[in-house]
Amino acid sequence: MKIAILPGDGIGTEIVAEAVKVLQVLDLKAETETALVGGAAYEAHGHPLPEGTLKLAKAADAILFGAVGDWKFDKLERALRPEQAILGLRKQLGLFANFRPALCYPQLTHASSLKPELVAGLDILIIRELTGDIYFGQPRGRRTAVDGHFPGAEEAFDTMRYSRPEIERIAHVAFQAARKRSNKVTSVDKANVLETFQFWKDVVTEVHAAHYADVELQHMYVDNAAMQLVKAPKAFDVVFTGNMFGDILSDEAAMLTGSIGMLPSASLDKNNKGLYEPSHGSAPDIAGKGVANPLATILSLAMMLRFTLGQPEAAARVEAAVDRVLTAGLRTGDIWSEGTQQNTRRVGTAEMGDAVVAALKND
Ligand code: NAD
């Protein structure tokens, strides 16, 4: 097994270091190799996804990714910005299926911005299509408008598009995932306004009728889905949608769990090779301070063990260790608030990672 370690920028290096400690204590005999990506790679090699990093990612069985981006790169041309590295990896490696489980740990119900009774026991799975939609659609750019409300004015445009095979393959992923859970899928679209998403809805309906009649299928417009996610989140099981809607809804779901610092993710290709990363970004506002929550990254490692490396027992051990550390009262700043919980202690990134390692050594 070969694992590529791509820490990236900002808190990426801090949180990945903790996940690597966890990997080491599991003693899986996995070979690891680390490379620069994002802004760090741009500064060293002039490109956010250098050839060597891409080669390593292609050769690896799995990739542990931190986060990329920093405000200081905002003025760079788009192709050289750090965020292009993650888009490039998804595209080059065909990582079309993004899994974002949103679990509310009982120990953290108070940390959610919703009432505890709405989120206690929450366990939903967001499946987001990752290589299509308006994020990749061509053409895109800036030009002078020839029509519209202001002909002759400067304008920008992007293209939203999905092909039938793209929708079919992610629909299969969602229905199959639902069969392993509560057999319920909510497909989120905007069919009332967008042609692309009327097509999405039609294709999903066809795939369902042909192969998954045993799974309950519900269609929901994205604006309503955003509302229902904060109104009655536990009514969902598998929520599945396109690239942009999934991007937005999964961040919304993060707050149900208490903090985006708790939300892992997996991005898989058709053979279950995967890139595993926390759902959050590089958090430049707290980078270098040693306060970031490493648990989303450690839980992403658990997903890697289960989905790509075929080590479900090791995955369960890591998840149980995280659970015990939370039960013991350790909290990074994002899941701690003064006076709301007795017997909790505010800790930094490394102390949280060390506690998970200690819990694993003693399990
Ligand atoms: P962000 O997720 O980095 O941060 C949003 C907020 O959440 C910040 O207040 C941050 O401090 C907090 N936060 C995030 N992760 C945390 C953690 N582990 N522990 C504690 N607090 C945490 O989003 P942003 O501020 O919109 O973006 C910052 C940079 O990250 C941008 O350059 C953006 O493009 C990039 N980004 C990268 C990825 C990725 O690498 N996959 C994803 C999203 C954003």
- What domains appear along the chain, each with residue ranges and CATH number? 1-96+269-363 (3.40.718.10), 99-263 (3.40.718.10)
Q: Whose CA is nearest to atom 44 of ligand 1?
A: 281
DSSP 3-state of 6: strand
φ and ψ of 171, to 5 deg = -65, -40
User: What pLDDT shows up at residue 148?
Assistant: 92
274: which strand partners? 62, 268
For the CA of 66, the nearest atom of ligand 1: 40
218: which strand partners? 186
User: What pLDDT shows up at residue 340?
Assistant: 61
| Contact criterion met (CB below 8 Å) for 330 and 352 | yes
Measured in Å, residue 211 CA sits from the centre of ligand 1 at 38
Neighbours of 22 (CB within 10 A): 25
Q: Extract the residue ranges of the chain whose pLDDT is less than 50.
A: none
DSSP 3-state of 237: coil
For the CA of 284, the nearest atom of ligand 1: 28
User: What pLDDT shows up at residue 251?
Assistant: 86
Q: Whose CA is nearest to atom 10 of ligand 1?
A: 283
User: What pLDDT shows up at residue 109?
Assistant: 87
Q: Please identify every residue annotated as catalytic.
A: 135, 190, 223, 247, 251
User: What pLDDT shows up at residue 125?
Assistant: 96
Measured in Å, residue 47 CA sits from the centre of ligand 1 at 21
